[in-house]
C-alpha cells in the first residue's frame, strides 16, 4: 500500500525470527493527524476521532492484525494483569496474558515501557504497560506469575522484549520515586536523579527466572528521540500515544 510506505515500526530481533509470534510497536511516523500528533493511536488525547481511526487502520493493516480481534486494557498504572481469550476492552489493568491464537494484545504508551513476554514451549503471550508506578509494584513479575500459574508457562524458557521508553539519559524523577527502586536502578548526575526503567524491569524478569540472554532491550529513549517517538514528558498534554501489539499466530508459515 503506497500510502502506508512511510509508516515506521519497531520490531524485536529475537521475536521476528519466530514465525509463531508477531510483534510490532508503532512510532509517530506515517499518520494523518496534525503534528505533533502524527500517528497518534489514542482517542483520549484530544485528537480528531476520524484521524485516530485512520491512524489505527494504518497501523493494524501494516502488521496484518485486526483491530476487531484486539484486547485493549484500560490502563491505570496498576500491577493488575488479566488473562484474556476474547477481543474487547478490559477495565483497570495494565497487562494482558493470553494463549488464544489470533488474538492481538495491545498496550498504549508514550514514555512508559512496553514489555512483551513469550513462552514458545507452552505458547503463552503477555504484553505489559510498565510505567514507574507499575514497575515499582512489580507488574512484569506479576505477568510472569500469571503465565506460570494460570497457563503452565516456564519462566526460564521465556523470551522478553523491552521496547522503547523513557531512558535513563532523560528520565528525571523526584526522590520519592527514586526511593521505590534499588540504588543501581537510579543514576545520580549532578543533583538530579534519573530512573532506569528498562533495568528495573529487566532485573524483575531475571528475579522471576528469565535468563539474561533471552531478554532483548530496545536502545531507544522516547524522550530524546523526537523524530521517532511520542513522549509525554517532552510534549506534555500535546503528546500522542503509540501502541505495542503482539499476537500468537494461527498458522505459522501460512
Residues at the site binding Zn ion, with contacts judged by CB under 5 A: 167, 169-170, 221, 223-224
Helix (H) or strand (E) holding 175: helix 175-178
To Zn ion, the closest distance from the beta carbon of 195 in angstroms equals 12
d(CA 53, CA 196): 34
Round to whole Å and give the CA distance between 171 and 197.
8
CB of residue 179 vs Zn ion: minimum separation in angstroms?
A: 22
**Is it true that the peptide bond before 36 is cis, omega within 30 degrees of 0?**
yes
Nearer residue to Zn ion within complex by CB, 38 or 164? 164
Closest separation in Å from C-beta 169 to Zn ion: 3
Counts of helices then strands in the chain (DSSP H, E): 7, 15
If the CB atoms of residues 33 and 196 are measured against Zn ion, the closer one turns out to be 196
Burial of 35 (0-12, 13-18, 19+ CB in 10 A): exposed
Nearest CB to Zn ion, comparing residues 53 and 217: 217
In the complex, least distance from residue 222 CB atom to Zn ion, rounded to whole angstroms = 8
Q: Is the Cβ of residue 80 or residue 165 nearer to Zn ion in the bound state?
A: 165
Say if residues 207 and 141 touch (Cβ distance below 8 Å): yes
Amino acid at each position: 500500500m503506497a500510502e502506508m510506505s512511510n509508516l515506521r515500526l519497531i520490531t524485536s530481533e529475537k521475536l521476528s525470527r519466530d514465525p509463531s509470534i508477531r510483534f510490532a510497536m508503532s512510532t509517530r511516523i506515517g499518520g494523518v493527524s496534525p503534528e505533533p500528533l502524527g500517528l497518534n493511536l489514542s482517542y483520549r488525547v484530544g485528537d480528531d476521532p476520524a484521524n485516530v481511526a485512520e491512524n489505527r487502520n494504518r497501523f493494524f493493516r501494516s502488521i496484518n492484525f485486526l483491530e476487531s480481534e484486539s484486547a485493549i486494557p484500560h490502563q491505570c498504572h496498576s500491577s493488575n494483569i488479566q488473562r484474556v481469550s476474547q477481543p474487547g476492552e478490559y477495565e483497570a489493568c495494565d497487562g494482558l496474558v493470553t494463549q488464544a491464537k489470533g488474538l492481538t494484545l495491545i498496550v498504549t504508551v508514550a514514555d512508559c515501557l512496553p514489555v512483551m513476554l513469550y513462552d514458545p514451549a507452552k505458547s503463552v503471550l503477555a504484553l505489559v504497560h510498565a510505567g514507574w508506578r507499575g514497575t515499582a509494584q512489580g507488574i512484569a513479575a506479576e505477568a510472569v506469575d500469571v503465565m506460570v500459574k494460570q497457563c503452565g508457562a516456564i519462566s526460564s524458557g521465556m523470551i522478553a522484549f523491552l521496547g522503547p521508553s523513557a531512558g535513563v539519559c532523560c528520565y528525571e524523577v523526584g526522590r520519592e520515586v527514586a526511593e521505590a527502586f534499588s540504588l543501581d536502578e537510579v543514576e545520580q548526575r549532578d543533583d538530579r536523579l534519573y530512573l532506569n526503567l528498562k533495568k528495573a524491569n529487566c532485573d524483575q524478569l531475571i528475579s522471576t527466572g528469565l535468563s539474561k540472554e533471552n531478554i532483548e532491550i530496545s536502545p531507544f529513549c522516547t524522550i530524546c528521540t523526537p523524530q521517532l517517538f511520542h513522549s509525554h514528558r517532552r510534549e506534555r498534554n500535546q503528546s500522542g500515544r503509540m501502541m505495542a501489539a503482539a499476537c500468537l499466530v494461527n498458522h505459522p508459515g501460512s
